[in-house]
Amino acid sequence: MNPERKNHPEEPAEGRRTFMRRLWMILGIVALAELLWFILSLLKPSRETHKSRPADTLRVIGSVEEFPAGSVTPDRVNRLYIVREQDGGFLALSLTCPHLGCSVLWNEESRQFDCPCHSSAFDRRGMVLSSPAPRPLDYLPVIIQEGKVKVDMGSITKRKRFEPNQITYAL
Ligand code: FES
């Protein structure tokens, strides 16, 4: 075999093979790095998880003293009413009518919520006084922390009736 014939024609082929081997090695390293990054991102707690935590859905509505006993206070920004019981307890009610979604209005004279759209009415705890509303006003959990009234906006709850455990008291 002629050594010149062996070296010259095969050198470019050998060079191409080496180049391809290196290219595949680099691509393999990149793919491995991406796989590692993906696995690490799965293990790390995501921002979505934090968003869904109840603490992140709490809204400060006001100080405890801002809500006198027996009062019903609208919060149009958060679309709710804060009802303060005579004994000091707090109840937060959605101002969205469960019939077709109009905003109910508190009537101080009749001491009830009236829906201007189809005349449903609700008592001060949100129970239906007159239809067509199919259920009571939805309620939201209230939390009292350091003298502040906070409402968990992420836990709006449909209900069939008023239950005493829907009322929150300041400790
Ligand atoms: S939307 Fe309130 S009664 Fe229809």
Of ligand 1's atoms, which has the minimum distance to the CA of residue 100?
A: 1
pLDDT of the residue at 132: 96
Please tell me the distance between residue 28's alpha carbon and the centre of ligand 1 in angstroms.
Answer: 63
**Ligand 1: residue whose CA is nearest its atom 1:** 100
Question: Strand order of the sheet with strand 90-94?
Answer: 72-75, 80-84, 90-94, 139-140
pLDDT digits (tens, 9 = 90+) for 29-87: 888 888 887 776 655 544 444 444 455 889 999 999 999 999 999 999 999 999 999 99
pLDDT digits (tens, 9 = 90+) for 3-38: 455 555 566 778 888 888 888 998 888 888 888 877
> Domain 54-166 classified CATH 2.40.400.10?
no
pLDDT of the residue at 18: 87
pTM: 0.67
Triad 134, 138, 141: Cα angle to 5°? 160
Q: How far apart are the first and last CA of the chain?
A: 99
User: Tell me, what amino acid is at 156?
Assistant: I
Which value, in Å, is the radius of gyration of the alpha carbons in the chain?
33
